[in-house]
Amino acid sequence: MNSTVPEPALEIARSRREHALSELRELLRIPSVSAQPERRADMQRAAEWIAARFRALGFSGVEVIATGGHPVVAGERTEAGAGAPTLLFYGHYDVQPPDPLGEWVSPPFEPQVRGENLHARGASDMKGQLVAFLAALEAMRQAGTPLPVNLKLLVEGEEEVGSASLPPLLRSQRERFACDYCLNSDAGILAPDQPSLTYGLRGLAYFELRVQGPSHDLHSGSFGGAVDNPVQVLFRLLAGMKDERGRVTLPGFYDRVRPLPDDERAELAKLPDDEAWWLEASGAPALFGEEGYSPRERAACRPTLDVNGVSGGFEGEGSKTVLPARAMAKFSMRLVPDQDPEEVRQSVLAYLKREAPPTVTWELIQMAGFKASLTGRDTPGVRAAATALERVWGKRPLFSRTGGSVPVVGQIRELLGVDSVLLGFGLPDDNLHAPNEKLHLPTFHRGIEAYIHFLHLAGPAGPALKGSATPSDNV
Amino acid sequence: MNSTVPEPALEIARSRREHALSELRELLRIPSVSAQPERRADMQRAAEWIAARFRALGFSGVEVIATGGHPVVAGERTEAGAGAPTLLFYGHYDVQPPDPLGEWVSPPFEPQVRGENLHARGASDMKGQLVAFLAALEAMRQAGTPLPVNLKLLVEGEEEVGSASLPPLLRSQRERFACDYCLNSDAGILAPDQPSLTYGLRGLAYFELRVQGPSHDLHSGSFGGAVDNPVQVLFRLLAGMKDERGRVTLPGFYDRVRPLPDDERAELAKLPDDEAWWLEASGAPALFGEEGYSPRERAACRPTLDVNGVSGGFEGEGSKTVLPARAMAKFSMRLVPDQDPEEVRQSVLAYLKREAPPTVTWELIQMAGFKASLTGRDTPGVRAAATALERVWGKRPLFSRTGGSVPVVGQIRELLGVDSVLLGFGLPDDNLHAPNEKLHLPTFHRGIEAYIHFLHLAGPAGPALKGSATPSDNV
């Protein structure tokens, strides 16, 4: 049986857990924050680190490709030959900014194990997944297990800032990255004891709105009442984009929103995340959102708008009686099929042109824009992933949609013409993008084994091409 | 004639202009920012500097009095005796925070002369006025001119943060500060060639509102739509306090607002600040405010609400897809007679209790609260000040109301039972509380001479007690 073939590699992976953890610590110490220009050298260092590891694993043509932004790591192992499928392994080595720094229990770039978790920025998103995949390949190499698929690499450094350099690269080197499907490891499962596969992601339209009133900060006593306040205008403009029940009020925003079919809603209702889970995971005093939808549906299948940051005027300790010259808000809409980020931008522009008063000037800057994605649940790659998860966890995975965005999934669909299989091992309470990001180590080690199973099953002899283990009987 | 008596002192003041400027530069180099805890030592240094200067001028009992906040400088010269009026000289040695630092042409605490102006934080508000008064006393001392009034000192270090330590001090040492009226030098005139006296100031109710949603920053993709956004809630709450025409919408806010009499409106209409002036001074693309009122009326005689600062979420460069845990806004209402800051606070609390959703928690912190003030225009001190201005400028001053707040004016009325005469020489375009604050040096030097005239005229032989030079024929 196929299921016994990877046993030597699994044994080796189990014996090398400390080594995998040590490798991960080393990568986590590199503060590869793509949003911060002063981290450019660290970004290069992280890319070189990844490239060196793949070279040591027998990949050929490994290259750190310069882009207009941060570099991309490419390379390939093609010994499986023409009879085997070709997979494009996608990952990213960049991480979110660590602020607010004061809320970290341990410094974000000094990994610390507390209990079953390793704490560091990027531990879960997604250096942990990268190192798990490397560990799987290393175990197979040491076991002498041949790689039953051809593997190509695409490891980028701009996932957290919108993946702007990928489209030109994929366009100009389409052949280099040609594949049967993409294995995207920037993903997670529902709970440590509940494997799952994500088949749907939301899109994103991210903006920065800058509002300018007076030419310089004014004394609020001398001018207040006779000169408009750009912070107040910003508040009114943003408050007017979404109502108190979470419905976005921009004109036409819901026009292209694909209704959620009843059967899909019924499936999603079987997911284990009830209201208590959402309250616990968020720490919010009460849940929120559109009437008639469950929390999962609101956060994964319905579009929304969030303010991501705001600044203006005096933010320090104490009081300052200033009428600020300007204010800035970052805000973003999560999109669902078939919303179009460019149409959303046009709607925001039209709204601002209509609503912004003549007492201020304003500027809208688009920081990111890409569509949502939905991957078919009955494709060979998804079948291999489902079986791999079942073999490690001993239970069938649940199928889930999630509200996050992986822009590259849409870009790869558009530019390489293939779907993505999302197979990664982050957990919902990993504090992604937040202070005290962590990685659950038992899940990390299971993830290494799942990647070994997956690579085995994705080959010509696996269920992927035989049509077994169809996930359609899963929820 | 009285007008000739101070000539020797005026001559000496003219010959010592460079020295006065040098003294001012020295005081401006002390970064006495009362709002910043790390400036505590500089606050003490500035207070000691002031105390040393008054000691050198023959003041007795000069003391740097410790308070719960920053120290107060007290002292007196009483050689004029019981037959002369006793004036309490009020000033403050603290300054506003200098941020945003990047917008200063020269560093805020390194005074620089450019053209006719001296640029530094505190140059106009109000170290320039303090040094002008010191220079006037020094010139009179060197001229051998006897001081025709008794002078007491009250120079505080918390004017820019609400003067919280003054009420307990004035309450506990009422006799020490007992006087016939207060000479408040924290004031200005309308233009370099237009002397004026301010008889009305607005009050202030300053708050910080903190809104907390989730217990920690969340990934806006994973949670957006199912968990409320505290920044958005903050925007909605603040946007709901004021309408698009500048009218505060808090319940009962206008209940106690004293109507502006027609004769006063007619007088104020004669002030030279037309709409073009307000546009030029503010640099705003258009003016703003309540219908039916002039800019001067809106900014000086009508109450208003301004957001003074806001922060929340990711404020750095680039984008971060975060659903922030919390947001903060500082906002303040300028009050007019007979509004009560405590009633305003109660109204804000009631509004927040009604409007804030159960998806967040919030906290309202009051940072300052005091009433507006209106000083009688036919009092002896105001008559002396009006004549002093006329003698230096060669034209009668205009009478004005201004929108700023000097909390101590109300406190001194309440706690010492006396009115304040506002005699200072700031200009409307001095960039008070803003980057590139400056002092117009020709006006500074005229101010020194005006203080010499005033001290002369305020004595028993001056117009103050003779009833001449009534300002009622001025506008």
Q: Quick: pLDDT tens for A46-61.
A: 999 999 999 999 999 9
Shortest alpha-carbon distance between residue B253 and chain A (Å):
15
CATH no., domain B203-257+303-370: 3.30.70.360
Amino acid at B356: A
Shortest alpha-carbon distance between residue B126 and chain A (Å):
14
Residues of chain B with CATH 3.30.70.360: 203-257+303-370
Contacts of B339 in chain A (CB under 8 A): none
pLDDT of res. B424: 96
The confidence band for A463, taking pLDDT boundaries of 50, 70 and 90, is: low
Beta bridge mates, A191: A194
| Partner-chain contact B221 A231, CB within 8 Å | no
The confidence band for B5, taking pLDDT boundaries of 50, 70 and 90, is: low
Contacts of B204 in chain A (CB under 8 A): 221, 321
Burial class (CB in 10 A: 0-12, 13-18, 19+), B189: buried
Whether A231 and A312 have beta carbons less than 8 Å apart is answered as: yes
Contacts of A296 in chain B (CB under 8 A): 226
| Side-by-side strand order, sheet with A86-92 | A60-65, A72-77, A150-156, A86-92, A181-184, A420-422
Beta bridge mates, A77: A151
Contacts of B276 in chain A (CB under 8 A): none
pLDDT of res. B473: 24
Q: Could you tell me the CA-to-CA distances from B445 to A357, B10, B11, B278 in Å, in that order?
A: 43, 10, 12, 26
Contacts of B361 in chain A (CB under 8 A): 285
Shortest alpha-carbon distance between residue B188 and chain A (Å):
11
Q: Could you tell me the CA-to-CA distances from A471 to A400, A449, A466 in Å, in that order?
A: 12, 20, 13
| Partner-chain contact A327 B310, CB within 8 Å | yes
pLDDT of res. A462: 66
Q: How far apart are CA B401 and CA B297, in angstroms?
A: 9
Whether A462 and A384 have beta carbons less than 8 Å apart is answered as: yes
Residues of chain B with CATH 3.40.630.10: 2-201+372-473
Average pLDDT estimate for B313-336: 95
Q: CB-CB: which of A216, A334, A403 is closest to B434?
A: A216
Contacts of A356 in chain B (CB under 8 A): none
| Partner-chain contact A433 B238, CB within 8 Å | no
Phi then psi for residue B21, to 5 deg, are -65, -40
| Partner-chain contact A219 B434, CB within 8 Å | yes
**A270-278 CB contacts, 8 Å cutoff, 24+ apart:** A270/A398, A270/A475, A271/A190, A271/A196, A271/A296, A271/A398, A271/A400, A271/A475, A272/A190, A272/A191, A272/A194, A272/A398, A273/A190, A273/A428, A278/B223, A278/B226, A278/B227
The confidence band for B462, taking pLDDT boundaries of 50, 70 and 90, is: low
Residue A470 has pLDDT above 60, yes or no: no
The ipTM estimated for the assembled molecules is: 0.76
Q: For B277-314, how does the pLDDT look when each residue is reduced to its tens digit (9 = 90+)? A: 999 999 999 999 999 999 999 999 999 999 999 999 99
What percent of chain A clears pLDDT 90, i.e. is strictly above it?
83
Contacts of B234 in chain A (CB under 8 A): 235
The confidence band for A170, taking pLDDT boundaries of 50, 70 and 90, is: very high
Residues of chain A with CATH 3.30.70.360: 203-254+303-370
Q: How far apart are CA B457 and CA B471, in angstroms?
A: 15
Question: Per-residue DSSP letters for A110-176?
Answer: S-EEETTEEESTTIIIIIHHHHHHHHHHHHHHHHT---SSEEEEEEES-GGGT-TTHHHHHHHTTTT
Vertex A281 angle, CA A278 and A284, to 5°: 75
Q: For A351-395, how does the pLDDT look when each residue is reduced to its tens digit (9 = 90+)? A: 999 999 999 999 999 998 888 988 777 889 999 999 999 999 999
Q: Which of B433, B436, B437, B438 to mutate to test the interface with A (most CBs of A within 10 A)?
A: B433
Average pLDDT estimate for A138-164: 95
pLDDT of res. B4: 45
| H or E element at residue A74 | strand A72-77
| Partner-chain contact A217 B316, CB within 8 Å | no
Amino acid at B372: A
A127 CB-near residues (< 8 Å, 6+ apart): A24, A27, A28, A93, A95
| Partner-chain contact B327 A310, CB within 8 Å | yes
A110 CB-near residues (< 8 Å, 6+ apart): A29, A120
The torsion defined by the Cα of B125, B127, B129 and B134, in degrees rounded to 10, comes to: 170
Contacts of B312 in chain A (CB under 8 A): 307, 309-310
Shortest alpha-carbon distance between residue A455 and chain B (Å):
28
| Partner-chain contact B308 A316, CB within 8 Å | no
Q: CB-CB: which of B226, B283, B298 is closest to A226?
A: B298
Q: CB-CB: which of A213, A295, A307 is closest to B226?
A: A295
Q: CB-CB: which of A96, A227, A329 is closest to B288?
A: A227
Angle (deg, nearest 10), helices A40-56 and A128-143: 20
The confidence band for A316, taking pLDDT boundaries of 50, 70 and 90, is: very high
Whether B381 and B464 have beta carbons less than 8 Å apart is answered as: yes
Contacts of A360 in chain B (CB under 8 A): 284-285
The confidence band for B469, taking pLDDT boundaries of 50, 70 and 90, is: very low
pLDDT of res. B378: 80
| B140: preceding bond cis by omega (within 30 degrees) | no
CATH no., domain A2-201+372-473: 3.40.630.10
Q: How far apart are CA B145 and CA B323, in angstroms?
A: 69
State chain A's mean pLDDT as an integer: 93
Q: Could you tell me the CA-to-CA distances from A240 to A234, A292, A313, A348, B41 in Å, in that order?
A: 10, 22, 21, 11, 46
Top-confidence residue, A108 or A372: A108
Q: For A263-295, how does the pLDDT look when each residue is reduced to its tens digit (9 = 90+)? A: 889 888 888 889 999 999 999 999 999 999 999
Q: How far apart are CA B140 and CA B227, in angstroms?
A: 69
Q: How far is CA A350 from the centre of its chain?
A: 30
H helix runs in B356-440, sequence order: 380-393, 407-416
State chain B's mean pLDDT as an integer: 93
pLDDT of res. A430: 96
Average pLDDT estimate for B386-402: 93
| Partner-chain contact B295 A35, CB within 8 Å | no
Q: How far apart are CA A199 and CA A401, in angstroms?
A: 6
Shortest alpha-carbon distance between residue B425 and chain A (Å):
15
Q: Which fold has domain A203-254+303-370?
A: Alpha-Beta Plaits (3.30.70)
Residue B325 has pLDDT above 70, yes or no: yes
| Partner-chain contact B283 A226, CB within 8 Å | no
| Partner-chain contact B222 A330, CB within 8 Å | no
Q: For B124-172, how does the pLDDT look when each residue is reduced to its tens digit (9 = 90+)? A: 999 999 999 999 999 999 999 999 999 999 999 999 988 889 999 999 9
Neighbours of A386 (CB within 10 A): 27
Top-confidence residue, A413 or A37: A37
Contacts of A289 in chain B (CB under 8 A): 225-227
Phi then psi for residue A176, to 5 deg, are -60, -35
Contacts of B405 in chain A (CB under 8 A): 221, 321
Residue B468 has pLDDT above 50, yes or no: no
Amino acid at B12: I
Top-confidence residue, A320 or A407: A320
Average pLDDT estimate for A220-247: 97
The owner of tokens 């040591």 is A56
Q: For B6-18, how does the pLDDT look when each residue is reduced to its tens digit (9 = 90+)? A: 899 999 999 999 9
> Nearest chain A Cα to B303, which residue?
A225
| Partner-chain contact B321 A332, CB within 8 Å | yes
| Partner-chain contact B246 A223, CB within 8 Å | no
Neighbours of A130 (CB within 10 A): 25
Please give, one letter per residue, the 3-state secondary structure of A228-279.
CCHHHHHHHHHHCCECCCCCECCCCCCCCCCCCCHHHHHHHCCCCCCHHHHH
Residue B349 has pLDDT above 60, yes or no: yes
Token reading at B406: 């000097």
Residue B432 has pLDDT above 50, yes or no: yes
What's the longest Cα–Cα distance across chain A? 83
Q: CB-CB: which of B217, B282, B319 is closest to A227?
A: B282
Vertex B435 angle, CA B429 and B436, to 5°: 60
| H or E element at residue A452 | helix A441-457
Q: For B90-102, how does the pLDDT look when each residue is reduced to its tens digit (9 = 90+)? A: 999 999 999 889 9
Residue B406 has pLDDT above 90, yes or no: no
User: B421: left (phi > 0), else alpha (psi -120 to 50), else beta?
Assistant: beta
A149-178 in b/e form (b: 16+ CB < 10 A) is bbbbbbbbbbbbbbbebbbebbeeeeebbe
Whether A422 and A181 have beta carbons less than 8 Å apart is answered as: no
> Nearest chain A Cα to B204, which residue?
A221
What percent of chain B clears pLDDT 70, i.e. is strictly above it?
96
